[in-house]
Amino acid sequence: MNLEEKKTCDLINGTGVPAQARKRQDYLEWSEYFMAVAFLSAQRSKDPSSQVGACIVNQENKIVGIGYNGMPNGCDDDLLPWARSADDRLDTKYPYVCHAEMNAIMNKNSADVKGCTIYVALFPCNECAKLIIQSGIKDVVYLSDKYHYTPEMEASRRLLDLARITYRQFQPKRKKIVIDFDSVGPSAQRIKHVVYLSNKYAQEVETRASVRILDEASTPENKIYRQFESRQEVHDLLDSINPFAE
């Protein structure tokens, strides 16, 4: 590094450390991460009009429960209604659906959720507020309060206030978080191929110095094999295209 380059580094980070040697600056903050997990889990919901997710986190920033809105376990969701309105309330989803907060609490992977924080897309309704209070959750982080003036939400706030449970609105610093399966290297098709090769040749890689592996560029009509002269060469190849390697 010449003097001019060093000065540039000093101006950029104040340390003289090259930019490529520094940690990322655009990583997710904890709150962004947990709210994103809630939004991702919402994609599992089959509700055609409202997909909501919830994520419960303990004091150590460990996720202890995830849930999304859906019908109860064992109830065929093809036989229950998903409508928001109907002449008969029994023909709507509301008497049947379980909210994301309920499912996150019921899906907990710890003994309890006392003292935890729940991240949820929508402000909890009065029924979910009861569950939050009874479970011992002490903090609610929500994104939207679009039903603020409904009786259910007014009752929810009253309950949470009486139970001294804090609630605050999440303020996103970015509009969207993109999940790109190609960001770590191989595409989904390539991952499947690598996993297949890893399983099929795991024994041979450990016991033979020379292994023939089907090249990823080959097609069923034109199979191209590569000859590797050493066990290490095979390991290096698999490591370079293994999406799970760190």
Residue 94, token pair as written in the block? 């509301």
pLDDT at 104: 98
pLDDT at 237: 63
* DSSP letters for 190-239: HHHHHHHHHHHHHHHHHH-S-EEEE-TT--SSS--EEEESSHHHHHHHHH
pLDDT at 183: 74
Written as tens digits, the pLDDT of the chain (246 aa) is: 555 555 555 555 565 667 677 888 888 999 999 999 999 999 999 999 999 999 999 999 999 999 999 999 999 999 999 999 999 999 999 999 999 999 999 999 999 999 999 999 999 999 999 999 999 999 999 999 999 999 999 999 999 999 999 999 999 998 899 888 777 765 545 544 444 444 444 444 443 334 444 444 444 544 444 555 556 666 666 666 554 444
Report the C-alpha gap between 125 and 150 in whole angstroms: 9
Specify the pTM. 0.70
pLDDT at 238: 61
Burial letters 155-178, b for 16+ CB under 10 A, else e: ebbebbeeeebebeebeeeeeeee
Report the C-alpha gap between 230 and 239 in whole angstroms: 15
The owner of tokens 């903050």 is 29
pLDDT at 143: 96
Residue 229 falls in the annotated catalytic set: no
Indicate the burial class of 29 (C-beta count within 10 angstroms; 0-12, 13-18, 19 or more): exposed
Q: 5 phi and psi, to 5 degrees?
A: -65, -40
Candidate list 5, 32, 101, 204, residue with the active-site label:
101
Using alpha carbons, list the distances in angstroms from residue 31 to 123, 172, 240: 16, 9, 32
Rg (CA), the chain: 26
